[in-house]
Chain A
Amino acid sequence: MHYLARRLLTFPLILLGVSVLVFVSIRLIPGDAITAMLGTEAGMLTPDQRASLAVYFGIDQPVWSQYLRWLGGLFQGDLGVSTIYARPVFSIILERFPLTLELALLAMLIALCVGIPLGVLAATRNGRPSDLGVRLLAMLGQSTPSFVLGILIIFVLSVFFGVVPAMGMFTPLWQDPLANLSQLIFPAITLGFAFAASVTRISRSAMLDVLSEDYVRTARSKGVPALSVVWHHALPNALIPVVTLSGVEFGYLLGGAVIVEQIFALPGLGRLVLDAISQRDYALVQGCVLFIAFNFLVVNLLVDLAYAALDPRIRLGGR
């Protein structure tokens, strides 16, 4: 637990660093909330009009003072107020997050359920046509951008079947599971396809490595059945790189799969950040990025803990 405590202690420091970076970078982008709202009409404003808008958007102060004010609020659990939504940032994030979390989980579920068996299959049939087929599929999956697949799915569904996934809204799972699934399944497949391809490739190569290890040879020579060798002896160790990959990917997905959320018009975290950036809603951008960074840290921690569970040779606490 020593290890866990140390990790948890570094969390606030990393988040502080992230907040400074976000704060500075969003303000380095040319254009401010005023031109974002008024567009070219901002040229019609008199200096007094502009000043009063700057007060409204909270950009009248120097950046460091804006940052200190924001940080002060943060310690009181206040991420600020969004100017587009006119509501507290944290409540907006909590509203959008379930969709993104569910989408990420679904995509990961698809990726693991497809990727691991395929990878193991390919590894045990190394060099045979079935291996080649899996590798081709994985290559295709990794090289197809998600927007191509997403648009293709929508196009095929609408042209040939006259249906499209219900876009633009989100029905929570507990409200109507069927409607929820019909909204999320296609975006999840879109995301899961590329993810599954990476999982396939990683689990295949990890499995090949493990299958040539001494302890596998020992198990085989003891007469353990081939299937049992693969699934019980080799797989847990082969899963370690898969867990690493999944952790990183899952972290990204929790940040919102921006393009897929855009194409399928899902009101998730990714679109929230994108809209916030284009409308220069500073408080919202800062809050979202901080939240995403926090998710990343938690996922990484879980990944490290999972290593220990999977491979007894790794002892986190006992260094």
Chain B
Amino acid sequence: MIWTNSRKFAAGLAIATALSTTAIALPAQAATLRMAWSQDATGLDPHTQTAFSSLRLLELIYEPLVRLDTELNIVPAIASSWEFSADAKTLTFTLDPEASFSDGTKVTPADVKASFERVLDEATAAAARSNFLSIASIDTPDDATVVFNLSTADVPILAAMANINAAIVPGSAIAAGSIGTTALGSGPFVLDSWEPNAREVLSANPAWAGGDLAIDGINVTVLPDESAILASLRAGQIDFALINDPLIATLVPNEANLQLNRVGGLAYNVLQLNPSRPPMDNLKVRQAMSCAINRQEIIDAALVGEGVVTGPMTVPAFAQDPDTLFCYEQDVDRARALMEEAGMAEGFSATVIAATGEPPVAAAEAQVLQAQLAEIGVTLEIEMMELNVYVDTWLKGDFDMAVAQNGGRPDPYPMYNRYFTKDGNLLGVSNFVDDTLDSLMKQGQAETDPAKRVEIFHQFESHLAEQAPWLWLSTSFTYTAQLKTVTGFEPSPTGTLFGLTKVAIQ
């Protein structure tokens, strides 16, 4: 075609220009990760926020002294090293000299001291305060060392410090009272803007001591409907998403351009019995219920197969094979016999509470339990409640039984101390006191030898399963989904998104 039509040529030129500009513009755009989640953070104060959705955001902005890696080992964060004294009553940290807040000021031992004093101050209302009650005093002998003097041997305190609820915030911000309104942390990202329940803009923190990031930042969009999140991923409008609903998660692998990251979590699904109310105060009745349920069937029917049968211990390092625990194999005959021994051969009726949509499978779980327990004459009436109402009822211990999903901890002590020891502050929820459990917990707190600790908590787990105040059912998975152009993400059982620091976009 020699007689090129000038208009066609101009149009072609325009398109070519447009294409080439897009091509040049693309890498710069791609360096920001577009992320979506369905629940937004509810606040910026790392010491008072405990919702999963808040922790996921704050873990990207703030840092604790130590952190957990993907295998739940304690690894350095602000502190580069640490040491317990032989009697486990003194814990000494050496801070990373590079650690600094995103405004460039260094993290000092004074900041660490001020942060822990803030957590311990009742006026702060820090929920994690109860984990740090053994702290008697904090010394700052030089500009790189922090010494915690403990009133009692407390090994699990180190794991508790690996939580963002023990984040180190600037002492100056505490004095100014600006924590909660501005987020100034030493973490990998800086919060540039936050529109609650709509979006967040994060940029890489150039002052972060943990190294360079392969992305410039993260734009978070709050998409409350998880099927809309899946649609956005499918259409390539977002790169990465946090997913809660197992049903949505099972749909991700059907898409050629998507990848599902699935990792077993620490949180556990449980049927909590209330042993202060008859007939649940009868050990034989509780054991009969434990024998009557089929845990794998609950997972298959209610959790669309997305879960693993678990005993009380969900931390891999402390868990035993569930089959070795009391009556983990369904045995309806034995259950009926136990009911008869308890004088309950004709069964009984009880109400079970469950939260609407939290977790998404709660209602289905309650229904399967209802069907299974009907086999031994236990008639369950299911009462669904809005989450806030459920939480209030649960905290008061005002239920016969409760379908619950409780968060786990990387150490068994903080995980169960609050429920099953005499001075546990959630004793009103479990309503269960047992001398053996109490003394095993105390041993586990003081023991510094890791192998002996595992042994202690194995005993604890076997005894707890046999006493059956609660019927542990399964752990669920935590999910993230991403476009295949996103590489390097490391999921963690705690659900943290800290693995985003390793992410690159191709």
Chain A residues proximal to chain B, CB less than 8 Å: 29-32, 35-46, 48-50, 52-53, 56, 84-86, 151, 154-155, 157-159, 162-164, 166-169, 262-265, 267, 271-272, 275, 278-280
Closest to B181 in A: A86
- 3 tightest CB-CB pairs across the interface, nearest first? A31-B388, A168-B221, A158-B231
Closest to A168 in B: B221
Collect the chain A residues with CB atoms within 8 Å of residue B386's CB. Answer: 31
Collect the chain B residues with CB atoms within 8 Å of residue A53's CB. Answer: 48, 125
CA distance A35 to B48 in the complex (A): 12
Residue B127, interface by CB 8 Å: yes
- Which of B198, B223, B386 is most buried by chain A, counting CB atoms within 10 A of its CB? B198
Closest to B395 in A: A43
Collect the chain B residues with CB atoms within 8 Å of residue A166's CB. Answer: 237
Kindly identify which residue among B181, B225, B235, B395 contacts A35, using a CB–CB cutoff of 8 Å: B395
Collect the chain B residues with CB atoms within 8 Å of residue A271's CB. Answer: 197, 224
Kindly identify which residue among A42, A151, A275 contacts B127, using a CB–CB cutoff of 8 Å: A42
- Assess the B228–A154 pair: CB atoms within 8 A: yes
Closest to B50 in A: A41
Min CB–CB distance A50 → chain B (angstroms) = 7
- Assess the A42–B391 pair: CB atoms within 8 A: yes
Residue B262, interface by CB 8 Å: no
Residue B122, interface by CB 8 Å: yes
Collect the chain A residues with CB atoms within 8 Å of residue B227's CB. Answer: 151, 154-155
CA distance A48 to B232 in the complex (A): 45
New contact pairs (15) apart from A35-B395, A167-B223, A275-B197, CB-CB < 8 Å = A30-B393, A31-B389, A37-B50, A39-B50, A41-B127, A44-B128, A49-B125, A84-B196, A151-B228, A155-B231, A263-B225, A265-B222, A265-B223, A271-B224, A278-B388
Min CB–CB distance B333 → chain A (angstroms) = 36
Q: List 19 A-B contacts (CB under 8 A).
A: A29-B389, A30-B392, A35-B388, A35-B395, A36-B42, A39-B50, A41-B50, A44-B425, A45-B125, A49-B126, A86-B180, A159-B234, A164-B234, A167-B228, A168-B221, A169-B221, A264-B228, A265-B222, A267-B197
Residue B195, interface by CB 8 Å: yes
Interface residues in B128-166 (C-beta closer than 8 Å to A) = 128-130
Chain B interface, DSSP helix/strand/loop, else mixed: mixed
- Assess the A45–B127 pair: CB atoms within 8 A: yes
- Assess the A168–B418 pair: CB atoms within 8 A: no
- Assess the B392–A168 pair: CB atoms within 8 A: no
Collect the chain A residues with CB atoms within 8 Å of residue B128's CB. Answer: 44
Closest to A52 in B: B123
Residue B124, interface by CB 8 Å: yes
Min CB–CB distance A46 → chain B (angstroms) = 6
Interface residues in B172-204 (C-beta closer than 8 Å to A) = 180-181, 195-199
CA distance A271 to B39 in the complex (A): 12
- Assess the B224–A36 pair: CB atoms within 8 A: no
CA distance A32 to B389 in the complex (A): 9
Residue B322, interface by CB 8 Å: no
Closest to B236 in A: A162
CA distance A46 to B418 in the complex (A): 13
> Can you list, as one digit per residue, whether each of B19-56 has a CB less than 8 Å from chain A (1) or not (0)?
00000000000000000100000110000111100000
CA distance A41 to B395 in the complex (A): 9
Closest to A266 in B: B198
Task: Known contacts A44-B127, A48-B122, A265-B225; decide if A279 and B391 are in contact (CB<8 Å).
Answer: no
- Assess the B224–A280 pair: CB atoms within 8 A: no
Residue B351, interface by CB 8 Å: no
Closest to B197 in A: A275
Collect the chain B residues with CB atoms within 8 Å of residue A44's CB. Answer: 127-130, 418, 425-426
Collect the chain A residues with CB atoms within 8 Å of residue B395's CB. Answer: 35, 40, 42-43
Collect the chain B residues with CB atoms within 8 Å of residue A40's CB. Answer: 391, 394-395, 406-407
Closest to B428 in A: A43
CA distance A204 to B13 in the complex (A): 54
Task: Known contacts A42-B395, A52-B122, A168-B36; decide if A36 and B199 are in contact (CB<8 Å).
Answer: no
- Assess the A162–B234 pair: CB atoms within 8 A: yes
Collect the chain B residues with CB atoms within 8 Å of residue A158's CB. Answer: 230-232, 234-235
Kindly identify which residue among A37, A45, A154, A272 contacts B231, using a CB–CB cutoff of 8 Å: A154
Task: Known contacts A159-B234, A168-B199; decide if A39 and B122 are in contact (CB<8 Å).
Answer: no
Collect the chain A residues with CB atoms within 8 Å of residue B196's CB. Answer: 84-85, 275
Collect the chain B residues with CB atoms within 8 Å of residue A159's CB. Answer: 234
CA distance A262 to B39 in the complex (A): 12
Min CB–CB distance A81 → chain B (angstroms) = 11
- Which of A32, A43, A154 is most buried by chain B, counting CB atoms within 10 A of its CB? A43
Kindly identify which residue among A52, A151, A279 contacts B42, using a CB–CB cutoff of 8 Å: A279
CA distance A259 to B150 in the complex (A): 52
CA distance A154 to B233 in the complex (A): 12
Residue B429, interface by CB 8 Å: yes
Closest to B131 in A: A44
Collect the chain B residues with CB atoms within 8 Å of residue A167's CB. Answer: 221, 223, 228, 232, 237
Kindly identify which residue among A41, A50, A163, A265 contacts B235, using a CB–CB cutoff of 8 Å: A163
- Which of B49, B231, B418 is most buried by chain A, counting CB atoms within 10 A of its CB? B231
Collect the chain A residues with CB atoms within 8 Å of residue B195's CB. Answer: 267
Task: Known contacts A48-B123, A158-B235; decide if A31 and B228 are in contact (CB<8 Å).
Answer: no
- Assess the B125–A52 pair: CB atoms within 8 A: yes
CA distance A279 to B128 in the complex (A): 21
CA distance A166 to B238 in the complex (A): 10
Min CB–CB distance B496 → chain A (angstroms) = 17
- Assess the A164–B232 pair: CB atoms within 8 A: yes
> Can you list, as one digit per residue, whether each of B388-416 has a CB less than 8 Å from chain A (1) or not (0)?
11011111000000000011000000000
Collect the chain A residues with CB atoms within 8 Å of residue B221's CB. Answer: 167-169, 265
Collect the chain B residues with CB atoms within 8 Å of residue A84's CB. Answer: 42-43, 196-197
- Assess the A280–B388 pair: CB atoms within 8 A: yes
Task: Known contacts A84-B43, A275-B197; decide if A37 and B224 are in contact (CB<8 Å).
Answer: no
Closest to B36 in A: A168
Min CB–CB distance B360 → chain A (angstroms) = 15
Closest to A163 in B: B235
Collect the chain B residues with CB atoms within 8 Å of residue A154's CB. Answer: 227-228, 231
Closest to A280 in B: B388
Interface residues in B410-455 (C-beta closer than 8 Å to A) = 418, 425-426, 428-429
- Which of A45, A50, A85 is most buried by chain B, counting CB atoms within 10 A of its CB? A45
Min CB–CB distance B483 → chain A (angstroms) = 13
Min CB–CB distance B430 → chain A (angstroms) = 11
Kindly identify which residue among B198, B222, B235, B425 contacts A43, using a CB–CB cutoff of 8 Å: B425
Collect the chain B residues with CB atoms within 8 Å of residue A49's CB. Answer: 122-126, 129
Min CB–CB distance B119 → chain A (angstroms) = 11
- Assess the B391–A164 pair: CB atoms within 8 A: no
- Assess the B388–A36 pair: CB atoms within 8 A: yes
Closest to A82 in B: B196
CA distance A84 to B54 in the complex (A): 12
Min CB–CB distance A53 → chain B (angstroms) = 4
